């Protein structure tokens, strides 16, 4: 969390941390100021600042961003802010986000969350949270490698970056039918693919599981985005899928995947939910199954994942 050690003092927030790690103590309130942030590590930091600024601006102010990655998630942030009547900044080609002050009685953010339902200034909003393309990507890949599956509840018009899993699936030649209310995926003779995951790095684990059953060498761009996830996912995928018989080479910003005959093995999640899910998907097609240590890492994002996966086949021990 070193990002906040650098940025918070510029916003009049006191912060004490253990060199960017827990425990972290902060004392506000935040006072918006013209700042420049590095967007290469994660778009989540910018998302938090955009929401915080929307509640606090009293004068025109801008957040400048260098080297922003995962732009689709910033689109999603601005979309959600608009839905909840927040003060939405002007997006200047993802380089600056400019805020203008607004009257407080028209900004729901100026009402404390605990008082939203009782304050006279609150606005009643009905909002349906989108289905999670990041979690669903594993189910869709499972359908392509192990058996037909129908997934409902996803917005095919979503700005979520991980919706790009459909492009990768299409490139493999799997059976794929996309409708507004459901997506059907089925297995076929899968072929290798080339995919740029720079804006959707969370797709690396399901893409590696997919590539493990494709004929030929798959290349995925964007490895530099993986170092600071729940684990260093480039190295973790290389290590754990290597145990299953998949050869993964990391070359600059590329991940090169050469599948071999997959074999039963004992793997470790590295306490990373997406690594555990990727290994579980691969297990669907591995004779003898796969044992996943620290398999409960999935509880971070998808506690029912194994139960749902069991409907497609056996082979997962957790």
What is the per-residue pLDDT for 115? 39
Q: Which long-range contacts (CB under 8 A, 24 or more apart) does 187-194 make?
A: 187/143, 187/144, 187/145, 187/146, 187/147, 187/148, 188/144, 189/215, 190/144, 190/145, 190/214, 190/215, 191/215, 191/216, 192/216, 192/217, 192/218, 192/257, 193/168, 193/218, 194/218, 194/219, 194/220, 194/221
Distances (CA, A) of 182 to 56, 152, 154, 156, 166: 40, 4, 7, 9, 13
- For the segment 101-109, the average pLDDT, to the nearest whole number, is 59
Three-class DSSP category at 236: helix
Q: What is the C-alpha separation between 8 and 6, in angstroms, rounded?
A: 6
| 3-class SS shares of the chain: helix, strand, coil, % to 5 | 35, 20, 40
Handedness of CA 83, 85, 91, 94 (dihedral sign): negative
Higher pLDDT, 159 or 255: 255
Does the pLDDT of residue 189 top 60, yes or no? yes
32-115 and 133-317 in the same fold: yes
- For the segment 123-141, the average pLDDT, to the nearest whole number, is 91
What is the per-residue pLDDT for 113? 44
Closest CA to 42 of 199, 255, 276, 271: 199
Closest CA to 138 of 242, 282, 248: 282
Does the pLDDT of residue 155 top 70, yes or no? yes
What is the per-residue pLDDT for 316? 44
Cis status of the peptide bond prior to 23, with omega within 30 of 0: yes
Question: Which residue in 202, 253, 272, 304 is the catalytic one?
Answer: 202
What is the per-residue pLDDT for 226? 86
Does the pLDDT of residue 296 top 80, yes or no? yes
Does the pLDDT of residue 116 top 60, yes or no? no
- For the segment 174-190, the average pLDDT, to the nearest whole number, is 95
What is the per-residue pLDDT for 118? 40
Does the pLDDT of residue 111 top 80, yes or no? no
- For the segment 275-281, the average pLDDT, to the nearest whole number, is 97
Residue 51 near residue 77, CB atoms below 8 Å: yes
What confidence tier does 143 reach under pLDDT thresholds 50, 70, 90?
A: very high
Does the pLDDT of residue 262 top 50, yes or no? yes
Q: Which fold has domain 32-115?
A: UDP-n-acetylglucosamine1-carboxyvinyl-transferase; Chain (3.65.10)
What is the per-residue pLDDT for 123? 67
pLDDT digits (tens, 9 = 90+) for 48-92: 999 999 988 999 999 999 989 889 889 999 999 999 999 999 999
Q: Which CATH superfamily does the domain covering 133-317 fall into?
A: Enolpyruvate transferase domain (3.65.10.10)
**Is 59 labeled as catalytic in the residue annotation?**
no
Question: DSSP E strands: which ranges in the chain?
Answer: 14-18, 21-27, 35-38, 61-66, 90-92, 96-99, 149-152, 175-178, 182-186, 194-196, 218-221, 247-251, 254-258, 265-268, 290-293, 316-317
Domain limits, the chain: 32-115, 133-317
Longest dimension (CA), the chain: 65
Distances (CA, A) of 236 to 54, 155, 290: 38, 31, 16
Does the pLDDT of residue 318 top 50, yes or no? no
- For the segment 2-12, the average pLDDT, to the nearest whole number, is 94
What confidence tier does 171 reach under pLDDT thresholds 50, 70, 90?
A: very high
Average pLDDT, the chain: 90
């Amino acid at each position: 969390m070193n990002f906040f050690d650098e940025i918070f003092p510029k916003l009049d927030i006191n912060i004490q941390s253990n060199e960017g790690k827990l425990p972290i103590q902060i004392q506000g309130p935040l006072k918006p100021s013209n700042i420049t942030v590095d967007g290469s590590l994660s778009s989540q930091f910018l998302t938090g600042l955009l929401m915080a600024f929307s509640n606090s601006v009293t004068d025109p102010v801008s957040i400048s961003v260098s080297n922003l990655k995962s732009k689709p998630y910033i689109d999603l942030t601005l979309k959600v802010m608009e839905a909840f009547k927040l003060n939405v900044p002007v997006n200047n080609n993802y380089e600056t986000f400019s805020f203008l002050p607004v009257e407080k009685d028209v900004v729901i953010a100026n009402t404390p969350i605990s008082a939203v339902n009782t304050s006279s200034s609150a606005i009643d909003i009905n909002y349906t949270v989108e289905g999670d393309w990041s979690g669903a990507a594993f189910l869709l890949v499972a359908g392509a490698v192990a058996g037909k599956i129908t997934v409902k509840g996803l917005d095919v018009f979503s700005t979520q970056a991980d919706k790009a899993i459909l492009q990768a699936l299409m490139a493999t030649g799997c059976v794929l039918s996309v409708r507004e209310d459901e997506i059907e995926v089925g297995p076929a003779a899968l072929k290798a693919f080339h995919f740029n995951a720079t804006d959707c790095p969370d797709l690396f684990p399901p893409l590696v599981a997919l590539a493990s059953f494709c004929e030929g060498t798959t290349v995925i761009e964007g490895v530099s985005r993986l170092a600071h996830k729940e684990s260093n996912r480039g190295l973790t995928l290389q290590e754990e899928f290597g145990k299953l018989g998949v050869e993964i080479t990391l070359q600059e910003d590329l991940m090169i995947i050469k599948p071999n005959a997959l074999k039963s093995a004992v793997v470790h999640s590295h306490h990373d939910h997406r690594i555990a899910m990727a290994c579980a998907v691969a297990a669907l097609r591995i004779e003898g199954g796969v044992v996943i240590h620290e398999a409960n890492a999935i509880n971070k994002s998808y506690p029912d994942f194994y139960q749902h996966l069991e409907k497609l086949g056996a082979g997962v021990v957790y």
